[in-house]
Structure 1
């Protein structure tokens, strides 16, 4: 058992160590705590996510606009497919109604149309007169009903075809919006295209090998397929503390479930981008946290993690992924993305950045 003298010496040593850590700008780490970054993402006041706030605002707007247009396009395509079935059904009904009316017209042509006066005058008794009057009413009703049903079938077929034309125009509109959003993102990225490197492509080429991605559980959507509006409303479970959105938490948990369990930091109270909004997380490539450029197995880990988010982008509402001087956008795929300070953090060579809708 430690003596009182040894206990006092241990407390004194711990106090000295904590004082030195604070003096050097660090934070003492309790024994047994989770691994923390060996290098901070950026010094206070610096823009740690690469590019500029204006660039990231453009990328956010472009990606959101692209995803909204894509969702509208997908909805329109499904609606068109439903209408195609409706058109086929109404055309079949129209053909049948036309056949029935044709039979009535053919019968009248062959036998001569039954005249009301002659039919009634040829009655031999009052009862026969009433029977013939009723028969005339029924014939007229049948003919009227057949003609009315034929017209209704024509109207339904015309409306269904018109609805298909409307959906085609809607698809053209949304495709144009998607193209403009793609152009917006790529134009904004021209300021960051000087330091290109091979992207971690889904085929496994480029920055290194990768394993097959796990299929993530989809995040909840609205009934129309859109993403519900979310605020920074749930606790950030990473050492960053603060808050994140439920969709960000879902993406974080899905990444962990897929085996990506190294150090993660999500919320940041200051700066631009999605971190202060609780819509972004930084996933360290190295086991010890955010260090220098990831190499070897650490870079492969980052490749695999980036590919996981890309492969599950539609399920996780991914706005963009940044990794190793590259950014993945739903509109454009992988593009070059340079850092703000030329260091591993802003170049994203030591961590994978994820932003969600």
Structure 2
């Protein structure tokens, strides 16, 4: 074989090897090395520290709210126990008072008096048995009264403790609200809004709640679920919210994972809900605007059930601690509803 022939063959083999490597499928998993981005994904410019502040305050707010909700439930249980114990005391006290008064007037009945008043042995046994029953009955009533009074004291102490817990949680919520408002000022969030025109939160469907921790908080989640909208990944909570939005009838185009950009998309904790069947384009008629309004209203109404961090739609941003605020980021979000998750 000539030298030129050998060089030609080496070149062919190298090209074949390169082609073989190029077509080898990647190992199965939730995300390919270069996940397919959302088609025509809206551009978002990172505002310095805004995303970090919103995430931090959102998580602290959710944590404080979970503590507050749990404490209120426990206080309610303690108040029910208190009411039941006080009712028991009201029932027992007259009976105990009557027994005490009778014992004072006639003298306490003892085994000795029962024996002295008996005319025969059988009569003594009958009186002794009756005496024992009376004493057991009265003792049980007295013990029940003592137990009920103990429950009252415990329930009152627990209520006081829950009130203190709720005060601390309320103060934390107020702090997160102030912090969030300062952060939102960076994107024009100084103007409070009541919810915007055409929002129909009162008639939005109810979503099935996402799983929480035993204490009611939202645990951290990894991006380990297949994203139905790209070849990337999303969290379990994001997937649940995605499925609930779809179940509510919002079936137009949506994109979740993005490998780059600010905020929650690269973490698998955000989705952009378009107004059209494919791609993104600004609302061009009342029907598309109403679709976005209804979708945003659904997310807001079910924010606590789904674990929503914030919603952005049509120059507005909704944050649990602040409600609706004006928004003037690089993307005015007139072409999609943005959903970020805890």
Question: How far is the alpha carbon of 1:254 from its aligned partner?
Answer: 2.1
Q: Distance in 1 between matches of 2:117 and 2:321?
A: 81
Unpaired stretches in structure 1, ≥5 consecutive residues: 1-35, 43-47
Question: How far is the alpha carbon of 1:75 from its aligned partner?
Answer: 2.0
SS of residue matched to 1:331: coil
- Indicate yes or no: 2:314 matched with 1:334: no
SS of residue matched to 1:322: strand
Per-residue Cα deviation, 1:39-66 (whole angstroms, up to 9, x for no partner): 4433xxxxx25533x1111111212222
Question: How far is the alpha carbon of 1:267 from its aligned partner?
Answer: 1.0
- Indicate yes or no: 2:242 matched with 1:252: yes
- Indicate yes or no: 2:153 matched with 1:162: no
Match of 1:273 in 2: 263
Match of 1:214 in 2: 205
Question: How far is the alpha carbon of 1:225 from its aligned partner?
Answer: 3.3
User: Would the alpha carbon gap of residues 117 and 316 (structure 1) be closer, same or farther in structure 2, given more than 3 Å must change?
Assistant: closer
Per-residue Cα deviation, 1:10-56 (whole angstroms, up to 9, x for no partner): xxxxxxxxxxxxxxxxxxxxxxxxxx74x4433xxxxx25533x111
Question: How far is the alpha carbon of 1:285 from its aligned partner?
Answer: 2.9
User: Would the alpha carbon gap of residues 326 and 91 (structure 1) be closer, same or farther in structure 2, given more than 3 Å must change?
Assistant: same
Q: Distance in 1 between matches of 2:92 and 2:195?
A: 60
Per-residue Cα deviation, 1:79-123 (whole angstroms, up to 9, x for no partner): 222222211211121122222221211111221234666666677
Match of 1:172 in 2: 167
Per-residue Cα deviation, 1:199-257 (whole angstroms, up to 9, x for no partner): 753x626xxx899533323223344433344211111111x321001221121122223
Q: Distance in 1 between matches of 2:213 and 2:62?
A: 14
What RMSD in Å do the two structures reach over aligned CA positions?
Answer: 3.1
Note the 1:18-33 alignment, pairs <5 A: none
Q: Distance in 1 between matches of 2:269 and 2:148?
A: 52
Match of 1:153 among 148, 153, 178: 148
- Indicate yes or no: 2:240 matched with 1:231: no
Q: TM-score, normalised by structure 2?
A: 0.76
User: Would the alpha carbon gap of residues 281 and 234 (structure 1) be closer, same or farther in structure 2, given more than 3 Å must change?
Assistant: same
What count of residue pairs does the alignment treat as equivalent?
A: 304
Contact 1:282 1:351 in 2 (8 A): yes
Q: Distance in 1 between matches of 2:204 and 2:150?
A: 50
Q: Distance in 2 between matches of 1:250 and 1:68?
A: 20
Q: Distance in 2 between matches of 1:306 and 1:133?
A: 79
